[in-house]
Homo-oligomer: A and B are copies of this chain.
Amino acid sequence: MKHIYIIGVGLIGGSFARDMREQFPKATLVGIDTNAGHIEQALALGLIDSQGDLDQLTTADLVALAVPVDTAVSLLPTVLDKVGENTIVIDMGSTKAAICAGVATHPNRRNFLACHPIAGTEFSGPSAALTGLYKGKTQIVCEVEKTAFKLQERALALFKNMGMRLRYMDPESHDKHIAYMSHLSHISAFMLGKTVIEKEKNERDIFDMAGSGFASTVRLAKSNPVTWTSIFAQNKENILETLDEYIDNLQHFKSLMAQDNFEDVYKEMENTNHIKSILNGLEQ
Protein backbone atom coordinates (compact mmCIF):
# COMPACT_ATOMS: atom_id res chain seq x y z
CA MET A 1 0.00 0.00 0.00
CA LYS A 2 1.84 3.10 -1.21
CA HIS A 3 -0.72 5.72 -2.18
CA ILE A 4 -3.73 6.28 0.03
CA TYR A 5 -6.27 8.99 -0.83
CA ILE A 6 -8.74 10.34 1.69
CA ILE A 7 -11.58 12.33 0.17
CA GLY A 8 -13.08 14.36 3.00
CA VAL A 9 -10.67 14.85 5.89
CA GLY A 10 -13.17 15.45 8.71
CA LEU A 11 -13.88 13.31 11.75
CA ILE A 12 -14.51 10.10 9.77
CA GLY A 13 -11.87 10.47 7.04
CA GLY A 14 -9.32 11.95 9.42
CA SER A 15 -9.73 9.13 11.95
CA PHE A 16 -9.38 6.63 9.11
CA ALA A 17 -6.20 8.43 7.99
CA ARG A 18 -4.76 8.08 11.50
CA ASP A 19 -5.37 4.32 11.39
CA MET A 20 -3.83 4.04 7.91
CA ARG A 21 -0.75 5.91 9.13
CA GLU A 22 -0.35 3.32 11.84
CA GLN A 23 -0.99 0.36 9.59
CA PHE A 24 1.07 1.58 6.62
CA PRO A 25 3.78 3.86 8.02
CA LYS A 26 5.55 4.07 4.66
CA ALA A 27 2.50 4.98 2.58
CA THR A 28 1.81 8.50 1.36
CA LEU A 29 -1.49 9.88 2.59
CA VAL A 30 -3.10 12.37 0.22
CA GLY A 31 -6.11 14.47 1.20
CA ILE A 32 -8.80 15.86 -1.08
CA ASP A 33 -11.36 18.25 0.35
CA THR A 34 -13.33 21.20 -1.02
CA ASN A 35 -12.87 22.89 2.36
CA ALA A 36 -9.43 24.54 2.14
CA GLY A 37 -9.39 25.13 5.89
CA HIS A 38 -9.86 21.42 6.52
CA ILE A 39 -6.94 20.57 4.22
CA GLU A 40 -4.77 23.05 6.10
CA GLN A 41 -5.78 21.60 9.47
CA ALA A 42 -5.31 18.02 8.25
CA LEU A 43 -1.79 18.87 7.05
CA ALA A 44 -0.95 20.65 10.30
CA LEU A 45 -2.25 17.69 12.33
CA GLY A 46 -0.25 15.25 10.21
CA LEU A 47 -3.38 13.40 9.12
CA ILE A 48 -2.24 13.74 5.48
CA ASP A 49 1.10 14.34 3.80
CA SER A 50 -0.16 16.44 0.93
CA GLN A 51 -3.18 17.78 -0.87
CA GLY A 52 -4.17 15.98 -4.04
CA ASP A 53 -6.84 16.05 -6.69
CA LEU A 54 -9.10 13.53 -8.34
CA ASP A 55 -6.93 13.23 -11.47
CA GLN A 56 -4.23 11.49 -9.44
CA LEU A 57 -6.49 8.61 -8.41
CA THR A 58 -5.24 6.37 -11.18
CA THR A 59 -2.14 5.69 -9.06
CA ALA A 60 -4.06 5.17 -5.83
CA ASP A 61 -3.98 1.84 -4.01
CA LEU A 62 -6.82 2.88 -1.74
CA VAL A 63 -9.37 5.68 -1.87
CA ALA A 64 -11.57 6.35 1.15
CA LEU A 65 -14.61 8.51 0.48
CA ALA A 66 -15.68 10.18 3.72
CA VAL A 67 -18.01 12.96 2.61
CA PRO A 68 -21.69 13.75 3.28
CA VAL A 69 -23.83 11.07 1.65
CA ASP A 70 -25.32 13.39 -0.99
CA THR A 71 -21.79 14.29 -2.11
CA ALA A 72 -20.90 10.59 -2.03
CA VAL A 73 -23.69 9.78 -4.48
CA SER A 74 -22.67 12.54 -6.90
CA LEU A 75 -18.93 12.13 -6.55
CA LEU A 76 -18.48 8.36 -6.50
CA PRO A 77 -19.08 7.83 -10.27
CA THR A 78 -16.41 10.45 -11.04
CA VAL A 79 -14.02 8.81 -8.59
CA LEU A 80 -14.59 5.43 -10.25
CA ASP A 81 -14.02 7.04 -13.66
CA LYS A 82 -10.54 8.03 -12.55
CA VAL A 83 -9.23 5.04 -10.60
CA GLY A 84 -6.67 2.57 -11.82
CA GLU A 85 -7.21 -1.14 -12.42
CA ASN A 86 -5.82 -1.93 -8.99
CA THR A 87 -7.48 0.80 -6.90
CA ILE A 88 -9.96 -0.12 -4.18
CA VAL A 89 -12.45 2.62 -3.34
CA ILE A 90 -14.43 2.43 -0.11
CA ASP A 91 -17.07 4.82 1.08
CA MET A 92 -17.97 5.40 4.73
CA GLY A 93 -21.50 6.75 4.44
CA SER A 94 -24.39 6.23 6.85
CA THR A 95 -26.73 5.30 4.00
CA LYS A 96 -26.06 2.61 1.44
CA ALA A 97 -28.94 2.16 -1.03
CA ALA A 98 -28.54 5.40 -3.02
CA ILE A 99 -24.76 5.14 -3.06
CA CYS A 100 -24.84 1.56 -4.35
CA ALA A 101 -27.60 2.31 -6.86
CA GLY A 102 -25.64 5.25 -8.25
CA VAL A 103 -22.76 3.04 -9.38
CA ALA A 104 -24.66 -0.22 -10.07
CA THR A 105 -23.86 -0.11 -13.78
CA HIS A 106 -20.57 1.76 -13.59
CA PRO A 107 -17.87 -0.01 -15.63
CA ASN A 108 -15.55 0.16 -12.61
CA ARG A 109 -18.13 -1.07 -10.09
CA ARG A 110 -15.69 -3.88 -9.25
CA ASN A 111 -13.27 -1.29 -7.78
CA PHE A 112 -15.79 -0.17 -5.14
CA LEU A 113 -16.67 -1.62 -1.75
CA ALA A 114 -19.70 -0.08 0.00
CA CYS A 115 -19.04 0.33 3.72
CA HIS A 116 -20.53 1.90 6.80
CA PRO A 117 -18.33 1.96 9.88
CA ILE A 118 -20.60 2.30 12.93
CA ALA A 119 -18.37 4.78 14.66
CA GLY A 120 -18.18 8.47 15.27
CA THR A 121 -18.63 11.16 17.84
CA GLU A 122 -20.87 14.22 17.98
CA PHE A 123 -17.92 16.37 16.87
CA SER A 124 -16.71 17.08 13.35
CA GLY A 125 -13.79 18.33 11.29
CA PRO A 126 -10.11 17.21 11.13
CA SER A 127 -9.45 18.27 14.73
CA ALA A 128 -12.07 15.75 15.89
CA ALA A 129 -10.18 12.85 14.25
CA LEU A 130 -9.16 10.13 16.69
CA THR A 131 -6.68 7.28 16.49
CA GLY A 132 -8.45 4.00 17.14
CA LEU A 133 -11.97 5.39 16.60
CA TYR A 134 -12.83 2.25 14.62
CA LYS A 135 -11.29 -0.30 16.97
CA GLY A 136 -13.87 -2.79 18.20
CA LYS A 137 -16.56 -1.20 16.07
CA THR A 138 -18.76 -2.81 13.42
CA GLN A 139 -17.99 -2.32 9.75
CA ILE A 140 -21.09 -3.00 7.67
CA VAL A 141 -20.19 -4.10 4.16
CA CYS A 142 -22.81 -4.13 1.41
CA GLU A 143 -22.86 -5.97 -1.92
CA VAL A 144 -19.46 -7.51 -1.22
CA GLU A 145 -19.98 -9.85 -4.17
CA LYS A 146 -19.86 -6.93 -6.60
CA THR A 147 -16.30 -6.03 -5.67
CA ALA A 148 -13.31 -7.70 -7.39
CA PHE A 149 -12.17 -10.52 -5.15
CA LYS A 150 -8.57 -9.34 -4.90
CA LEU A 151 -9.67 -5.83 -4.01
CA GLN A 152 -12.29 -6.83 -1.45
CA GLU A 153 -9.68 -9.05 0.18
CA ARG A 154 -7.34 -6.09 0.54
CA ALA A 155 -10.02 -3.88 2.08
CA LEU A 156 -11.31 -6.56 4.46
CA ALA A 157 -7.79 -7.36 5.72
CA LEU A 158 -7.27 -3.69 6.39
CA PHE A 159 -10.54 -3.48 8.38
CA LYS A 160 -9.59 -6.54 10.39
CA ASN A 161 -6.23 -5.00 11.20
CA MET A 162 -8.08 -1.90 12.38
CA GLY A 163 -9.83 -4.16 14.89
CA MET A 164 -13.25 -3.91 13.25
CA ARG A 165 -16.00 -6.56 13.25
CA LEU A 166 -17.31 -7.23 9.76
CA ARG A 167 -21.00 -7.65 9.00
CA TYR A 168 -22.42 -8.25 5.53
CA MET A 169 -25.78 -6.84 4.54
CA ASP A 170 -27.71 -5.75 1.49
CA PRO A 171 -28.05 -1.95 1.07
CA GLU A 172 -31.84 -1.89 1.56
CA SER A 173 -31.70 -3.85 4.81
CA HIS A 174 -28.87 -1.66 5.99
CA ASP A 175 -30.86 1.52 5.41
CA LYS A 176 -33.99 0.11 7.01
CA HIS A 177 -32.26 -1.09 10.19
CA ILE A 178 -29.91 1.85 10.56
CA ALA A 179 -32.90 4.18 10.51
CA TYR A 180 -33.89 2.60 13.85
CA MET A 181 -30.45 2.10 15.29
CA SER A 182 -28.92 5.46 14.45
CA HIS A 183 -30.97 7.95 12.45
CA LEU A 184 -33.95 7.98 14.83
CA SER A 185 -31.64 8.55 17.82
CA HIS A 186 -30.33 11.68 16.15
CA ILE A 187 -33.79 13.10 15.52
CA SER A 188 -34.96 12.22 19.02
CA ALA A 189 -31.90 14.02 20.47
CA PHE A 190 -32.25 17.07 18.21
CA MET A 191 -35.93 17.45 19.08
CA LEU A 192 -35.26 16.94 22.79
CA GLY A 193 -32.68 19.72 22.59
CA LYS A 194 -35.09 21.94 20.68
CA THR A 195 -37.92 21.37 23.15
CA VAL A 196 -35.74 22.26 26.11
CA ILE A 197 -34.05 25.27 24.48
CA GLU A 198 -37.41 26.69 23.38
CA LYS A 199 -38.76 26.42 26.90
CA GLU A 200 -35.73 27.52 28.83
CA LYS A 201 -34.64 30.89 27.53
CA ASN A 202 -32.36 31.48 30.50
CA GLU A 203 -29.47 29.20 29.62
CA ARG A 204 -27.82 29.49 32.98
CA ASP A 205 -30.86 27.85 34.53
CA ILE A 206 -30.76 25.00 32.03
CA PHE A 207 -27.16 24.32 32.80
CA ASP A 208 -27.73 24.26 36.53
CA MET A 209 -30.52 21.70 36.35
CA ALA A 210 -29.05 19.50 33.65
CA GLY A 211 -27.61 16.26 34.89
CA SER A 212 -25.60 13.58 33.17
CA GLY A 213 -28.84 11.90 32.07
CA PHE A 214 -29.96 14.87 30.00
CA ALA A 215 -26.44 15.36 28.66
CA SER A 216 -26.33 11.76 27.48
CA THR A 217 -29.80 11.78 25.92
CA VAL A 218 -29.27 15.05 24.06
CA ARG A 219 -25.61 14.46 23.11
CA LEU A 220 -26.30 13.74 19.44
CA ALA A 221 -27.97 17.16 19.07
CA LYS A 222 -24.43 18.50 18.81
CA SER A 223 -23.96 16.63 15.53
CA ASN A 224 -23.11 18.32 12.25
CA PRO A 225 -26.31 19.48 10.43
CA VAL A 226 -24.67 19.17 6.97
CA THR A 227 -23.86 15.51 7.51
CA TRP A 228 -27.27 14.72 8.91
CA THR A 229 -29.45 16.66 6.50
CA SER A 230 -28.10 14.59 3.63
CA ILE A 231 -28.53 11.34 5.54
CA PHE A 232 -32.15 12.20 6.39
CA ALA A 233 -32.85 13.13 2.76
CA GLN A 234 -31.42 9.87 1.44
CA ASN A 235 -33.07 7.63 3.99
CA LYS A 236 -36.31 9.57 4.07
CA GLU A 237 -38.85 6.75 3.68
CA ASN A 238 -37.33 4.52 6.32
CA ILE A 239 -36.90 7.39 8.75
CA LEU A 240 -40.50 8.58 8.31
CA GLU A 241 -41.60 5.08 9.30
CA THR A 242 -39.45 5.09 12.44
CA LEU A 243 -40.74 8.55 13.33
CA ASP A 244 -44.34 7.40 12.99
CA GLU A 245 -43.70 4.50 15.34
CA TYR A 246 -41.73 6.63 17.80
CA ILE A 247 -44.42 9.33 17.88
CA ASP A 248 -47.13 6.66 18.31
CA ASN A 249 -45.26 5.20 21.25
CA LEU A 250 -44.84 8.63 22.85
CA GLN A 251 -48.52 9.40 22.33
CA HIS A 252 -49.51 6.08 23.86
CA PHE A 253 -47.29 6.75 26.87
CA LYS A 254 -48.76 10.22 27.20
CA SER A 255 -52.31 8.90 27.10
CA LEU A 256 -51.52 6.28 29.77
CA MET A 257 -50.24 9.09 31.98
CA ALA A 258 -53.22 11.32 31.21
CA GLN A 259 -55.54 8.44 32.21
CA ASP A 260 -53.58 7.89 35.45
CA ASN A 261 -52.86 4.37 34.27
CA PHE A 262 -49.51 4.16 36.04
CA GLU A 263 -49.66 0.39 36.19
CA ASP A 264 -49.22 0.35 32.42
CA VAL A 265 -46.71 3.22 32.55
CA TYR A 266 -44.68 0.93 34.80
CA LYS A 267 -45.05 -1.98 32.37
CA GLU A 268 -43.94 0.16 29.43
CA MET A 269 -40.69 0.88 31.23
CA GLU A 270 -40.20 -2.60 32.61
CA ASN A 271 -40.64 -4.10 29.15
CA THR A 272 -38.03 -1.75 27.74
CA ASN A 273 -35.57 -2.31 30.57
CA HIS A 274 -34.15 -5.38 28.86
CA ILE A 275 -32.38 -2.99 26.51
CA LYS A 276 -29.77 -3.38 29.28
CA SER A 277 -28.80 -6.84 28.18
CA ILE A 278 -28.96 -5.91 24.51
CA LEU A 279 -26.54 -3.06 24.99
CA ASN A 280 -24.18 -4.81 27.38
CA GLY A 281 -20.65 -3.99 26.49
CA LEU A 282 -21.60 -1.21 24.12
CA GLU A 283 -21.39 1.65 26.60
CA GLN A 284 -18.52 4.01 26.25
Q: Which of A4-12, A37-45, A103-111, A214-222 contacts B (4 or more CB under 8 A)?
A: A214-222
Q: Which of A56-64, A72-80, A237-245 contacts B (4 or more CB under 8 A)?
A: A237-245
Q: A185-B217, A275-B222 are in contact. Are A190 and B282 (CB under 8 A)?
A: no
Q: Which of A254-273 contact B (CB under 8 A)?
A: 254, 257-258, 260, 262, 265-266, 268-273
Question: CA–CA, A270 to B224, complex, Å?
Answer: 8
A258 smallest CB distance to B (angstroms): 6
Chain B residues lying within 8 Å of A253, measured Cβ to Cβ, are: 187, 190-191, 243
Q: Which of A85-93, A142-150, A153-161, A175-183 contacts B (4 or more CB under 8 A)?
A: A175-183
Closest to A264 in B: B229
Q: Which of A175-224 contact B (CB under 8 A)?
A: 177-178, 180-182, 184-200, 203, 205-223
A202 smallest CB distance to B (angstroms): 10
Q: For the side of the interface on A, what is the size category? A: 35 or more
> Is the beta-carbon distance between B197 and A272 smaller than 8 angstroms?
yes
Question: CA–CA, A284 to B212, complex, Å?
Answer: 7
Question: CA–CA, A187 to B211, complex, Å?
Answer: 15
Chain B residues lying within 8 Å of A219, measured Cβ to Cβ, are: 213, 216-217, 283
> Is the beta-carbon distance between B184 and A249 smaller than 8 angstroms?
no
Q: A184-B195, A195-B245, A247-B251 are in contact. Are A217 and B215 (CB under 8 A)?
A: no
Q: SS class of chain A's interface: helix, strand, loop or mixed?
A: helix
Chain B residues lying within 8 Å of A209, measured Cβ to Cβ, are: 118, 138, 140, 167, 177-178, 181-182
> Is the beta-carbon distance between B278 and A208 smaller than 8 angstroms?
no
What is the copy number of this chain in the assembly?
2
Q: Is A3 interfacial (CB-CB < 8 Å)?
A: no
Q: A189-B217, A217-B219 are in contact. Are A245 and B199 (CB under 8 A)?
A: yes
> Is the beta-carbon distance between A225 and B266 smaller than 8 angstroms?
yes
Q: A190-B269, A240-B257, A243-B254 are in contact. Are A220 and B216 (CB under 8 A)?
A: yes
Question: CA–CA, A187 to B265, complex, Å?
Answer: 10
Q: Is A236 interfacial (CB-CB < 8 Å)?
A: yes
Closest to A267 in B: B225
> Is the beta-carbon distance between B262 and A194 smaller than 8 angstroms?
no
Interfacial residues, chain A to chain B (CB-CB below 8 A): 118-122, 137-138, 140, 165, 167, 177-178, 180-182, 184-200, 203, 205-223, 225-226, 228-229, 232-233, 236, 239-240, 242-247, 249-251, 253-254, 257-258, 260, 262, 265-266, 268-276, 278-279, 282-284
